[in-house]
């Protein structure tokens, strides 16, 4: 027996990975994966819906994120057009294939030029749809894929994220539960990005710089309906 095989055999023996003990271990792992038990969840975000949205807004604004609320999905394109005009930015944006965004009346705002697909790094503004948000930290949660390409999270200078009021949860665990229900455990998204405020860094002389590794500005549109 080689030294490697001897070491592995010793580990296997010490872990009791054979017979009834191994079967019990496998059953325990399978049960945990099936039930996905929750850990300790802070009480901070366990609030009624209105208070939860207020907490999310407060926490997001505390990290240089601007937040506004609109009544319905149909109001989002007009809100985006207003924001770009207020910031004196080109009326051009990029979105993915997200069906929620695609169903919005972008054509009702002819001044807006809407491009589709992942960013090539030349887009000033991108609009994404978040699968959920975490009230206790002011965090947006976005899943990767053609619906909301990950490049939109990092390359444009202004990132606008649309999130439904109903998906603003008090804690991270609730958002993960939504992701499991949406995708299923056998088909989880390849990447889940959690975005809290615009990109920033204070690595150089402790001077805060926005846009160090991503967008300089983050704007959130909460859809009531």
Least confident among 26-35, 165-174, 185-194: 26-35
Q: Is the dihedral of CA 225, 78, 97, 135 positive or negative?
A: negative
Whether residue 179 lies inside any domain: the answer is yes
Residues counted in the chain: 225
Whether residues 55 and 154 fall in one domain: yes
68 with 121, same domain: the answer is yes
Percent of the chain at pLDDT exceeding 90: 65
pLDDT in tens, 126-142: 999 999 999 999 999 99
- Mean pLDDT for 178-191 is 88
**Residues 87 and 53 occupy one common structural domain:** yes
**How far apart (Å, rounded) are the C-alpha atoms in residues 42 and 119?**
37
Whether residues 53 and 30 fall in one domain: no
pLDDT digit string (tens) for 109-124?
A: 888 999 999 999 999 9
**Whole-number pLDDT of residue 204:** 54
For the chain, how many structural domains are there in total?
A: 2
Beta-carbon contacts of 5 under 8 Å, excluding residues fewer than 6 positions away, are none
């Amino acid at each position: 027996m080689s030294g490697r095989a001897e070491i592995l055999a010793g580990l296997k023996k010490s872990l009791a990975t054979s017979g009834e003990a191994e079967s019990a271990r496998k059953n325990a792992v399978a049960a945990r994966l099936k039930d996905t038990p929750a850990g300790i969840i802070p009480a901070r975000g366990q609030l009624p819906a209105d208070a939860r949205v207020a907490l999310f807004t407060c926490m997001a604004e505390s990290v240089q994120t601007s937040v506004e609320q609109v009544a319905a999905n149909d109001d989002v394109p007009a809100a985006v057009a207003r924001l770009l005009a207020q910031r004196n930015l080109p009326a051009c944006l990029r979105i993915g294939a997200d069906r929620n965004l695609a169903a919005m009346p972008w054509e009702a705002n002819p001044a807006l030029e809407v491009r589709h697909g992942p960013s090539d790094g030349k887009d000033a503004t991108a609009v994404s749809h978040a699968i959920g948000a975490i009230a206790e930290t002011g965090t947006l949660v976005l899943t990767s894929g053609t619906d909301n390409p990950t490049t939109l999270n990092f390359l444009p200078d202004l990132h606008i994220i649309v999130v439904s009021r109903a998906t603003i949860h008090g804690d991270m665990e609730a958002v993960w539960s939504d992701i499991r229900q949406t995708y299923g455990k056998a088909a989880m998204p390849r990447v889940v990005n959690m975005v809290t405020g615009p990109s920033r860094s204070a690595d150089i002389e402790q001077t805060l710089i926005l846009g160090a590794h991503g967008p300089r500005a983050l704007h959130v549109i909460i859809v009531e309906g």
